[in-house]
Amino acid sequence: MTKADIVNKVAEATGITKTETEAVIDGFIITIINALKNGESVDLRGFATFSVKKRKSKIARNPKTGETIELKERYVPTAKISKQFKLAVSESLKVEDNKSEAE
């Protein structure tokens, strides 16, 4: 599913135009990115918690060439999916698996 697909589904569900829906979704994404840039975490209960983690510098290996390289200290955005979200996805896919096995 792409951002355009999400815009279409939300627009259909809410009756808002696609242009307005896309502006809202873009604003939502930009707000999360800006919060993470400012060192804040974003907690969307029942969905996920977004935060930034500091990674230490380390020596890594290019798997293709075998060459060693130094990765400098860096900050990476992370997302921790909520238990409710994980459970909902898992249960939904189990039902689909059971349907396909029965056929």
Tens of pLDDT, residues 69-95: 999 999 999 999 999 999 999 999 987
Range of the domain at 24: 3-102
Q: Which residue has the higher pLDDT, 9 or 101?
A: 9
Number of Cβ atoms within 10 Å of the Cβ of 33 = 13
Q: What is the spatial distance between Cα 75 and Cα 54, in angstroms, rounded to a whole number? A: 4
Give 78's DSSP letter.
E
Q: What is the spatial distance between Cα 12 and Cα 20, in angstroms, rounded to a whole number? A: 12
Q: What is the CATH number of the domain that holds 52?
A: 4.10.520.10
Name the band, by pLDDT with cuts 50, 70 and 90, for residue 101. Answer: low
Name the band, by pLDDT with cuts 50, 70 and 90, for residue 65. Answer: very high
How many domains, in total, are found in the chain?
Answer: 1
pTM: 0.77
